[in-house]
Amino acid sequence: MKRDIEGRALRNESGIVIQPLYTAADVQASGGLDMLGEPGAYPFTRGIHPLMYRKQPFTMRQYTGFGNAADTNRRFKFLIDNGQTGLNVAFDLPTQCGIDSDDPQAEGEIGRVGMAVDTLHDFETAFDGIDLDKITVSLTINGAAAILIAMYLAMAEKRGFDVERLRGTAQNDILKEFVGRGTWVFPVQPSIRLVGDTIEYCAEHAPKYSPVSVCGYHIRESGATPTQEMAWAFCIARAYADEVIKRGLPVDEFAGRLSYNFNIFGNLFEQVAKFRAGRSLWARIMKEDYGATKPGSMWLRMIAGGGGGGLTLEQPENNIVRGAYYALIAALSGAQTMALCCFDEAYTIPSEHAQRISLRTMQLLVEEMGLAETVDPLGGSFYVETLTNQMRAEMQRVIEETDAAGGIVKLIAEGTIQSRVSAQAYRMQRAIEAGAFPKVGVNRYRSDADAAPQVEMHPYRIDDARSQIVALQRVRAERDAASVARALDRVESDARSGSNLMPAIVDAVKAYASVGEITQRMVGVFGRYVEPVRFDHRESEATA
């Protein structure tokens, strides 16, 4: 938080002044209660379902994946046995970037930060013994998302599940990837085309599957404010919607399967107001700007997850407490799904012990703390309602500013958004180092005993990486080479013709073509993205 020049007023991260006391007059001055409504009714400020958690608690979906598919399958089953109700799959960097495990570029990264996936065989192993009708799966993948979605659907079909009834989610938000994490493959326009292909394909073949989870989370982690996180996520979602609508697909045929992934670290009241404001703003956008008529098309369906940007290397046990507050934020905000970073995640892939603590934290909210007993328990607070109105207005301002500058696609393609969030991240780091932004255990309440925190490090096993390469080579030797060649030729042909690529990709993965082989055919048509590196040091200093 910042103080004004006289040291009296406080501002939250979104730049909104926080008063020492709120009354009904503040609510009225900020816009009143016109956008409040009832839970389950437009504009959904209080929640997208009438009874919310009273009817069904939030899905608990920890982010998990490491090593090979067999390693990850064992961790999946451990979490399910401990009461987890959904899976959120982490993939290693080679998989995320469309690179096979035997590619020289993958050396040292195979299975390091997530599960290594090369062919459909890996998906068959990873989900062996898991009932996909009872446990929904989220795939945290972007640049190679079309291929991994195809693998998931093909695996489910091969195991006898009805793909038309299959539920699940893929992150598949490539525009935020250009802003945040950097696991892109193709240039901006072909990347948007692929997102459109997945939405269009799933609308016809897997109508209950959510092919895109727009990820404000990583924009926030990269340096965006809470209101920018929401506003730019909405701009990105509109870009995907526009891509699909221009193909002739009506908004009500796909909008209900769009979902969101948002961050939860920061000031509790700012985060709760952010989500309440975001729900009503997105509903208004879909109804007024896109003409959606189905209530489900107007829902902001979200996972409130992670909070990784709030975790600290210093005094890692404090992250257990932070995680509990982040879970509280998500529950008070009306999230449909919750995921928590574990206390050791600032260091390493979480241990089973750490993941169980995070899972128990979410279960405690439902079973012991009463968070599932009533809807929108902070509704009616003078402070929360005022802040909700103010956050909504600020989000709208950011959207209008983005549109006036040429739109989110243009600003991302030229690196403007990236430059801005980088400057803000730099400014925040300087504030933490200077002690102007308080961080307990980092620039507050340090001790000499903090030098050697006790955290179990996840080992990186070279033998597992070698085993992954051997398994890939075995699949290549045993598959029908002619079928693979025909399928890959079709991928390339459809990429050139402008056809929806998903049918060709599905055929390719069913023939056990690899992630890297399919990606290379598309790279031959689309090329690879080259990042426009921009960082205005003067801007970051000016805003410090």
- Distance (Å, rounded) from C-alpha 159 to C-alpha 153? 10
What is the reported pLDDT for 447?
Answer: 82
Q: DSSP state, 440?
A: B
What is the reported pLDDT for 181?
Answer: 87
What is the reported pLDDT for 459?
Answer: 85
In this structure, is residue 539 part of a structural domain?
no
In this structure, is residue 532 part of a structural domain?
no
**Paired tokens of 54:** 């009273």
pLDDT mean by block of 10 residues, the chain; 544 residues: 56 95 98 97 98 96 94 96 96 98 96 97 98 96 97 98 97 96 94 98 97 96 97 98 97 96 96 98 98 98 89 92 96 96 92 96 96 96 98 98 98 95 95 94 84 78 93 97 98 98 98 98 96 64 48
In this structure, is residue 491 part of a structural domain?
no
What is the reported pLDDT for 1?
Answer: 45
In this structure, is residue 291 part of a structural domain?
yes
Cβ(107)–Cβ(133) under 8 Å?
Answer: no
What is the reported pLDDT for 535?
Answer: 60
Cβ(337)–Cβ(303) under 8 Å?
Answer: yes
In this structure, is residue 9 part of a structural domain?
no
Q: DSSP state, 91?
A: B
Cβ(168)–Cβ(153) under 8 Å?
Answer: no
What is the reported pLDDT for 544?
Answer: 43
The one-letter code for the residue type at 388 is T
Cα–Cα distance list, 65 to 100, 306, 349 (Å):
17, 15, 9
What is the reported pLDDT for 455?
Answer: 80
CATH of the domain at 270: 3.20.20.240
Cβ(376)–Cβ(57) under 8 Å?
Answer: no
What is the reported pLDDT for 534?
Answer: 66
Number of domains forming the structure of the chain: 1
* Residue 281: other Cβ atoms inside 10 A: 23
* 3-class SS string, 276-315: HHHHHHHHHHHHHHCCCCCHHHHCCCEEEEECHHHCCCCC
**Paired tokens of 149:** 């979605």
- Distance (Å, rounded) from C-alpha 530 to C-alpha 503? 28
In this structure, is residue 286 part of a structural domain?
yes
In this structure, is residue 139 part of a structural domain?
yes
What is the reported pLDDT for 543?
Answer: 45
What is the reported pLDDT for 536?
Answer: 60
What is the reported pLDDT for 422?
Answer: 94
What is the reported pLDDT for 306?
Answer: 77
* Residue 520: other Cβ atoms inside 10 A: 17
The residue range of the domain holding 337 is: 22-444
Q: Tell me, yes or no, if the pTM score tops 0.75.
A: yes
What is the reported pLDDT for 8?
Answer: 56
**Biggest alpha carbon distance in the chain?**
75
One DSSP character per residue, 458-506 reads PPP-HHHHHHHHHHHHHHHHHS-HHHHHHHHHHHHHHHHHT--SHHHHH
In this structure, is residue 69 part of a structural domain?
yes
